[in-house]
Structure 1
Amino acid sequence: MQSSQGFQYFLAGFNLINTKGLKRFVLIPLLINVILFGGSLFFIYDWLTQGFAYLNELLPTWLSWLEWLLWPIAIFTILFSYTSLFSIITNFIAAPFNGLLSEKVELHLTGKKINDDGFLDTIKDVPRMLAREGTKLMYYLPKAIGFFILLWVLPVVGQVIWVLFTCWMFAVQYQDFAFDNHKIHFRETRKQLKQNQGLSYGFGFAVLIFTTIPLLNLLVMPVAVCGATKLWVENYRDQY
C-alpha cells in the first residue's frame, strides 16, 4: 500500500542523516530544531505546571484528583495541535538549510546536481525560500483555525480531522523542499501530492508519530527532509 510506503520513506531518512558527506548538512537543521523545539517544550511544561498549581489552589481538596485527569488531556492536546504549528514555524526559520540538505540528499541519491549555483547564489535565493515558506503558512493557517475550532465543537470528529490535516501538512511541508529546489510552483506541488495521497498521508503520519516521541522528535526535521527527498527522487523527479 502507498501509505506504508510513505511511512517507509520517512524511516529511510534515519539512514540518510548518517550518510558520509551529508552529516554536516544535517547539523544546522538539527541544532535549530533542538534549540527551538526543546526550549519551547520546556517553556510550555513550566507554564502548565504553574497553571495546574494555580488551579489546585482554587479547587477544594476533594477535587484534587482532577489534576491527574487534566494532565494527560493537556499533553495530548499539545502533542497533536501545537507540534504541527511549531513545525511550520521552525521550518520557516530553517528553510534555507532544509532546502540545502534536500539538494545534497538528491545529489547523493542521483549523482546529479540540481544546479551549478555557488554559495553567493544560494544566499541570494534565501528570500525566495522564505517567501515559499510564507505561502505554505498562508495555506496552513486558515484551515488550522477552522479545524481547531471544530476540535472543540465536535471533539471526536474534530480529532480525526485534525490528525488527518496534520499528516497532510507534514507531508506538504517536507516534500515541498525538493519541489522548491526545482522551482516548481507550490500549486503544482499540492496537485502532485494529491495524486499520490497514500504516499503523502503515510509519510505525514510517520512524521506525526515520531514528533510525539521525546528525544526522537528532535531528529524529526532533518530525518523528514531526507526521507521526503528520497520520496521525491523515486516518485516525482522523472516528471520534471
Structure 2
Amino acid sequence: MPTTTSQSNFAPDYLIYGWHIMWQKGLRRYALMPLLINLVLFSAGVVWVVQSAPEWVAAIMTMLPSYLQFLEWLLWPLLVITIILVFALSFTTLATIIAAPFNSLLAEQVVFRRSGLPPRAMTALGLLKELPRVLSRELQKLLYLLPRLLIVGLLALLLPVVGQVLWLLFSGWMMTIQYLDYPFDNQHISFRQMRRSLAQQRGKSLTFGLTIALLASLPLVNLLIMPVAVCGASALWVDHFHQPRYANSTPIK
C-alpha cells in the first residue's frame, strides 16, 4: 500500500506501511528503543534455541504412538515450525512487556500523523506516571493469553496436524491482541471492548496477526518486527477500528 494516505482492506499491507514510516523523521527515536530491546533478547534467545531445538524435536517424536509413525515425514517440519513459533512468541512477549511504554508512545505518534488525534505532551515524569497503567494493561493481556496458550499448546502436542493448525491460528490472534492493543489503550478503550472490536473484524485482525507471527519466526526479520508491527497496527486501527474512521489520513512528513 502507498505510504501516505491510502487505506487497504488487506491488513498485512499495514506492515509494509509500518516498515516505511518507522524510519521517517520524528518517529525514528520512538522506534529505536524497541529495536534495541528486541536485539538483545533475540540474540540471547537464538543461541539457546539453536542449541536446544534438535533435542526437543527428537523427544516429541518419541512420544508419537506407533500407529502414527507413518506421519513422521509430515510431523517433523510441523514440529520444527511450532518450536520456532513458540520461541518467537515467547521472546516477543517478553520484549513487548519491557518495551511497552516506548511502544505506547510510538503508537500514539503514528496515530497522530495518520489521523490528527493529538498526542499527549509527554515528559519524563509523565512517562513514569503512565508506567503503572501501561504495565497493568500488559498484565491484562498476559492473564487473557496465558491460559489459552497452555490449552492450545497441549492440543498442538496431542493432536497431530490439527493441533499445529490451531497453534498457528492462535499465534496470529496473540499477535493481533498484543499490537493492536496499543492504539486502543492509548485512547483508554477497555481491554474487553478492544477484543470485541477485533472480533467484529476477525478477518482483518487474524490476517494481520498471522503475518506478524510468521515474520517473527524469521531470523533477522524478528529483530525488526516489534516497531514495524506497532506502526502498522496503529495505522490499521485508525483506518478500520477508530470511530469516526478517517477517510483521509494525514501523511507523515
TM score, norm. by length of structure 1? 0.85
Q: What aligned pairs does 1:1-240 form with structure 2 within 5 A after superposition? A: 5-48=10-53, 51=55, 75-239=80-244
Distance 2:213 2:235 in 1: 18
SS of residue in 1 equivalent to 2:161: helix
SS of residue in 1 equivalent to 2:181: helix
More helix by share: 1
Superposition deviation, residue 154 in structure 1: 0.6
CA 1:177–1:85 in structure 2 vs 1: closer, same or farther (change >3 Å)? Answer: same
Distance 1:220 1:126 in 2: 23
Q: Which has the higher contact order (CA 8 A, sep 6+)?
A: 1
C-alpha contact (below 8 Å) 1:106/1:233 kept by paired residues? yes
Distance 2:244 2:92 in 1: 29
Distance 2:145 2:127 in 1: 26
Deviations 1:89-125 (A, max 9, x none): 2211110010011111112223331333433122111
How many residues are matched? 225
4+ residue runs of structure 1 moved beyond 6 angstroms?
none
Superposition deviation, residue 33 in structure 1: 0.6
SS of residue in 1 equivalent to 2:11: helix
Query: 101-110 vs 128-137, which deviates more?
Result: 101-110
Distance 1:148 1:113 in 2: 41
Distance 2:101 2:188 in 1: 14
Superposition deviation, residue 210 in structure 1: 1.1
Query: 96-105 vs 75-84, which deviates more?
Result: 75-84
Distance 2:113 2:190 in 1: 24
CA RMSD across the alignment: 2.5
Identity across the alignment (%):
41
C-alpha contact (below 8 Å) 1:114/1:181 kept by paired residues? no
Distance 1:110 1:48 in 2: 44
Deviations 1:18-67 (A, max 9, x none): 11111111100001011102211112213347x59xx9xxxxxxxxxxxx
CA 1:4–1:239 in structure 2 vs 1: closer, same or farther (change >3 Å)? Answer: closer
Unaligned runs of 5+ in 2: 1-7, 60-73, 246-253
C-alpha contact (below 8 Å) 1:107/1:113 kept by paired residues? yes
Distance 2:87 2:151 in 1: 15
Distance 1:171 1:48 in 2: 26
Distance 2:52 2:85 in 1: 18
C-alpha contact (below 8 Å) 2:49/2:87 kept by paired residues? no
C-alpha contact (below 8 Å) 1:114/1:182 kept by paired residues? no
